[in-house]
């Protein structure tokens, strides 16, 4: 991929220095940094980045994150954190975050995840998806279990959603048209009671379709 510019917003300077070293060996170029989202105002003169890597330290930063999203609607926002939290996830979803990654990722996995985000996908780890399902998170529907009489083709569609494949990718892999994929997807959503691709992917994970793969939800 071509190089992408990055703002790095994190309260720990040592962490920021480590991330800059990791990203220096990737297509991602850190062009500005600050000690958290609330300090992003000091970067007003910096070029708008392609991607913002950040962590949330508290409720005040949640408000600052919403403001950052409003100021830079085209930038991709990715939370990189060591804490698995339904509260943070709720904030992330409400803000329209593009990814929620755990900081114990390998450099290779981090780069791959960020590449996917830049391609328009939303990336969440499997462990966070499981927390989503079991925890009381706003705007997320906990769907009933069971395979709901799904056909083999419909099962294939669900597995594809877990991989983050677009309708075009699914059609090419299965040798069918995109229109047919849309028909199958609509039927799957109706059968499992899901409102969208994200809920369908979470339902698939909760029902044992792939316990190891991250949820990669293709963008609109």
The CATH number of the domain holding residue 17 is 3.40.50.2300
Neighbouring residues of 128: CB distance < 8 A, sequence distance ≥ 6: 84, 89, 100, 102
Task: For residue 203, give both structure tokens.
Answer: 């339902």
63 & 167 share domain: no
Mean pLDDT rounded to a whole number for the chain: 77
Q: What's the average model confidence in pLDDT over 37-48?
A: 80
164 & 98 share domain: no
pLDDT band at 135 (very low <50, low <70, confident <90, very high): very low
The backbone region for 208, taken as left when phi is positive above 0, alpha when psi lies in -120 to 50, beta otherwise, is left
Place of tokens 């929620």: 100
Q: What's the average model confidence in pLDDT over 83-95?
A: 69
Residue 44 resides in a domain: yes
Three-state DSSP state, 101: strand
pLDDT band at 58 (very low <50, low <70, confident <90, very high): low
Q: What's the average model confidence in pLDDT over 145-171?
A: 79
CA distance 121 to 112: 12
24 & 89 share domain: yes
Report pLDDT for 28.
92
Domain extent for 184: 152-217
CA distance 179 to 157: 13
Q: What's the average model confidence in pLDDT over 7-14?
A: 88
Residue 136 resides in a domain: no
Residue 126 resides in a domain: no
169 & 76 share domain: no
Residue after which a domain boundary falls, among 120, 137, 161: 120
Residue 129 resides in a domain: no
Residue after which a domain boundary falls, among 99, 120, 141: 120
156 & 61 share domain: no
Task: For residue 75, give both structure tokens.
Answer: 């930038």
Listed in order, strand segments (DSSP E) in the chain are: 4-9, 28-34, 51-54, 76-81, 99-102, 122-124, 215-217
| Domain count for the chain | 2
104 & 13 share domain: yes
pTM above 0.75, yes or no: no
| For the chain, percent of residues with pLDDT exceeding 90 | 15
22 & 113 share domain: yes
* 66 has a pLDDT exceeding 50: yes
pLDDT tens for 139-151 read 433 444 445 578 8
114 & 161 share domain: no
25 & 83 share domain: yes
Is residue 62 within 8 A of residue 138, CB to CB? The reply is no
The mean-pLDDT minimum among 10-19, 27-36, 117-126, 209-218 falls in 209-218
* 204 has a pLDDT exceeding 50: yes
Residue 104 resides in a domain: yes
84 vs 31 pLDDT, higher one:
31
Over its C-alpha atoms, the chain yields an Rg (Å, rounded) of 18
Residue 170 resides in a domain: yes
87 & 18 share domain: yes
CA distance 52 to 55: 10
Q: CA torsion, points 30, 49, 137, 107, in degrees to nearest 10?
A: -30
Report pLDDT for 180.
93
CA distance 133 to 153: 25
Residue 135 resides in a domain: no
Neighbouring residues of 183: CB distance < 8 A, sequence distance ≥ 6: none
68 & 166 share domain: no
Report pLDDT for 203.
78
Report pLDDT for 142.
40
């Amino acid at each position: 991929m071509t190089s992408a510019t990055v703002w790095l917003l994190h309260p720990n300077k040592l962490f920021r220095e480590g991330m800059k070293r990791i990203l220096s060996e990737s297509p991602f170029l850190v062009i500005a940094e600050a000690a958290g989202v609330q300090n992003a105002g000091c970067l007003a003169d910096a070029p708008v980045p392609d991607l913002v890597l950040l962590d949330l330290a508290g409720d005040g930063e949640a408000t600052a994150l919403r403001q950052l999203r409003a100021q830079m609607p085209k930038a991709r926002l990715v939370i990189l954190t060591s804490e698995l939290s339904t509260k943070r996830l709720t904030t992330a979803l409400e803000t329209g975050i593009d990814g929620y990654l755990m900081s114990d990722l390998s450099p290779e996995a981090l780069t791959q995840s960020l590449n996917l985000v830049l391609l328009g996908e939303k990336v969440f780890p499997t462990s966070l998806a499981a927390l989503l399902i079991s925890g009381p998170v706003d705007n997320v529907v906990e769907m009933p279990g069971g395979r709901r009489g799904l056909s083999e083709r419909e099962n294939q569609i669900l597995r594809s959603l877990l991989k983050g494949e677009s309708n075009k990718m699914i059609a090419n892999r299965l040798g069918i048209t995109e229109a047919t994929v849309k028909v199958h997807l609509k039927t799957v959503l109706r059968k499992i009671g899901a409102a969208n691709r994200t809920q369908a992917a979470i339902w698939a994970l909760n029902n044992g379709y792939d316990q190891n793969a991250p949820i990669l939800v293709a963008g609109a």
